[in-house]
Amino acid sequence: MSNPSLLILAGDGIGPEVMAEVKKIIAWYGDKRALKFDVSEDLVGGCAYDVHGKPLADETMAKAQEVDAVLLGAVGGPQYDNLDFSVKPERGLLRLRKEMDLYANLRPAQCFDALADFSSLKKDVVAGLDIMIVRELTSGVYFGEPRGIFTEGNERVGINTQRYTESEIARVARSAFELARKRGNKVCSMEKANVMESGVLWREVVQKVHDEEYPDVQLSHMYADAGAMQLTRWPKQFDVIVTDNLFGDLLSDLAAMLTGSLGMLPSASLGAPMANGRPKALYEPVHGSAPDIAGQGKANPIACILSFAMALRYSFDQGTEADRLEKAVEKVLADGLRTADLMGPEGGSPVSTSAMGDAVIAALDASL
């Protein structure tokens, strides 16, 4: 039986630095847990443009379609700002999501006890927070037609179209309900059914999927603007939130800051099952390429490490090992280790990117 396959696309900026720590952890699992992966590496984003003249080579796209999971670092940088829109680094990531049909974006917002003071909210509001936002990723206003900037009379008009089919809504709703069954068994669906016809359809389809397939899961509906307010008022009222592409983009970034640092947050983008039963999947930290600190050893690798933990859980059926890795991260934070982004006003000496990765491996060793 062959090993599960993993394609690493480290990308730009701090991407290669944080990915180097994940590669050490992948090697640890092979050595200490007999959990081996067939790992290949390639380029995406600006570094791919530098080599191929485009942010994702066709050969790389073909590899991504064949492997069990893709692990991505980050893309982009100021040196690419003036490129044509069609070849900007971010287009490589969007192509991966679109052509792999990764329709369910899972973005957890978890607040480790050791970092509860880093949130802008009061500690009792965020301590122990563990919610999951499921964002529809391949449709909605970001992809709907017509779109563009047109001239009407004497002025220009920008047009974007919010468009959803019943099947697009139903499949991401199923992803949310399946996740909820493994968590707190509670889903809140968020839209703007009070002012948008697409929101009306969204609410109707989510309710239908619930009633016919998941009646055991508690379902509630909320307008997305009210949801944003409730996330900052008392976020622990939620378990799984399912929402569309635009609102998911906004709400997941809001939820990210409840935890204190974007450097802590992983994500998974999942699609339909492949022949082996595993979903097509791409895992990446929520943070960007942070070119201002690239190459300085200041980057926080935890979001990328936790993205690999999500891969263990959702692509490789290794929930116990995912728990082991997440607990190792929690122990390191509880022991007081911090990268620069996690330094409080009291000061101190932050550890480097590689030192944080080494500490996580030491905690993994201690778990055996």
Q: What is the pLDDT of residues 350-361, one digit of tens each?
A: 999 999 999 999
pLDDT of 293 higher than 80: yes
Tell me which of 258, 274, 301 is where a domain ends: 258
Domain that holds residue 101: 1-109+261-368
Domain-embedded: residue 91: yes
Q: What is the mean pLDDT of residues 1-9?
A: 92
Domain-embedded: residue 272: yes
In terms of Cα–Cα distance, which of 16, 83, 9 is closest to 40? 9
Do 147 and 101 lie in a common domain?
no
Residues carrying an active site annotation: 142, 192, 225, 249, 253
What DSSP string describes 127-193? TT-EEEEEEE-SSGGGTEEEEEEEEETTEEEEEEE----HHHHHHHHHHHHHHHHTTTSEEEEEE-T
| The pLDDT value given to residue 274 | 85
Q: What is the mean pLDDT of residues 297-302?
A: 95
Do 134 and 100 lie in a common domain?
no
pLDDT of 347 higher than 60: no
| 28-83 pLDDT per residue, tens | 999 999 999 999 999 999 999 999 999 999 999 999 999 999 999 999 999 999 99
pTM to 2 decimal places = 0.91
| 141-157 pLDDT per residue, tens | 999 999 999 999 999 99
Do 137 and 65 lie in a common domain?
no
Do 137 and 251 lie in a common domain?
yes
The residues, ordered by sequence, that sit 6+ positions from 338 with a Cβ below 8 Å of its Cβ are: 348, 350, 351
**% of the chain with per-residue pLDDT over 70:** 98
Do 225 and 199 lie in a common domain?
yes
Backbone angles phi, psi at 137, to 5 degrees: -120, -15
Do 104 and 197 lie in a common domain?
no
Do 318 and 296 lie in a common domain?
yes
Do 286 and 338 lie in a common domain?
yes
| The pLDDT value given to residue 56 | 98
Element (H, E) at 243: strand 240-243
Mean per-residue pLDDT of the chain:
94
pLDDT of 132 higher than 60: yes
pLDDT tier at 346 (50, 70, 90 boundaries)?
low
Q: Between 13 and 121, whose confidence is greater?
A: 13
pLDDT of 26 higher than 80: yes
Instruction: Work out how many domains the chain is built from and give that number.
Output: 2
| 79-122 pLDDT per residue, tens | 999 999 899 999 999 899 989 999 999 999 988 888 888 888 88
pLDDT tier at 273 (50, 70, 90 boundaries)?
confident
Do 82 and 138 lie in a common domain?
no
Q: In angstroms, rounded to a whole number, what is the distance separating the alpha carbons of residues 200 and 225?
A: 15
